[in-house]
Amino acid sequence: MKVRYDLHIHSCLSPCGDEDMTPNNIVNMALLAGLDLVALTDHNSCKNCPAFLQAAERAGLVALPGMELCTAEECHVVCLFSTLDAAMSFNRLVETTLPPVENRPDIFGNQWIMDAEDRVIASVPLLLTTASSISVDEVVQLAREYGGTAFPAHIDRPSYSVTAALGDIPPVGFRAVEVTATGDVDALAAQYPEMRGKPLLLDSDAHYLENIQEAGPWLELPENTPEALIAALNGEFPAVWGR
């Protein structure tokens, strides 16, 4: 089946995420957009995933927990997991790899943790937009150890992408690559051979509700489940996709 996805969305836990990016607002916007499968990927944290998954389940939307990890090289890598337990275990590991820099909400924005009713229940004191000590060389293997998958985010952007930080897509086992809507896929594939033959994902990287993308980009999956998506993005069967 064709599954229309958006696998890169920020909530109000990301300091740069709008305060309207609450679990229920994201779920409702995704449903309005006609999406079949969505993932929540805040900077260096999965702490809004419990509420997000609960809100999604209640609304009948298939959702994955995830994180946009900032590696030691300042590359953004989207990590997705098939279960909340795995995501929260990965989250605990990542917390130990972040520098001890406090968030300044007045400068960087709030980092709110919400419950499934969109109530603020806590905020993360550590600034989440710093670089983890996890290197891009180890992130693919690490995500897989937690039953997940990892792909480089927005590789055509001039900041916080593997191409900006390293000048290339490193051959570290990525099985899918994210390219923004404005990226010239053919030109990029000519420049970065590592992209060839892999699904080129198109996600919104939404920080505001109105940026969550309309149903369009799709992956062919045997069923619309987090497990099937992870398997597809890990190259366990030949990927069929469109964007």
Provide the minimum distance between the beta carbon of 223 and Zn ion in the complex, in angstroms, as a whole number: 27
Closest of 46, 106, 47, 125 to residue 80, by C-alpha: 46
Q: Of the two residues 47 and 76, which places its CB atom closer to Zn ion in the complex?
A: 76
Q: Of the two residues 4 and 76, which places its CB atom closer to Zn ion in the complex?
A: 76
* Residue 23 neighbours by CB distance under 10 Å: 27
4 binds Zn ion (CB under 5 A): no
Burial class (CB in 10 A: 0-12, 13-18, 19+), 197: exposed
Provide the minimum distance between the beta carbon of 240 and Zn ion in the complex, in angstroms, as a whole number: 26
Instruction: For the segment 12-71, give every residue that binds Zn ion (CB under 5 A).
Output: 68
Closest of 64, 2, 6, 57 to residue 30, by C-alpha: 6
DSSP 16-27: TS-TT--HHHHH
Provide the minimum distance between the beta carbon of 58 and Zn ion in the complex, in angstroms, as a whole number: 25
Provide the minimum distance between the beta carbon of 55 and Zn ion in the complex, in angstroms, as a whole number: 20
- Interface pick for Zn ion out of 76, 179, 199, 212 (rule CB under 5 A): 76
Q: Of the two residues 36 and 205, which places its CB atom closer to Zn ion in the complex?
A: 205
What single-letter amino acid sits at 78? V
How many residues interact with Zn ion (rule CB under 5 A)?
Answer: 5
The 8-class DSSP code of residue 45 comes to: B
Q: How far apart are the first and last CA of the chain?
A: 15
Position of minimal CB gap to Zn ion:
76
Provide the minimum distance between the beta carbon of 1 and Zn ion in the complex, in angstroms, as a whole number: 27
- Interface pick for Zn ion out of 53, 153, 179, 219 (rule CB under 5 A): 153
Instruction: For the segment 186-205, give every residue that binds Zn ion (CB under 5 A).
Output: 205
Radius of gyration over alpha carbons of the chain, in Å? 16
For residue 183, give both structure tokens.
């990226």
Q: Name the residues that contact Zn ion, by CB under 5 A.
A: 68, 76, 153, 160, 205
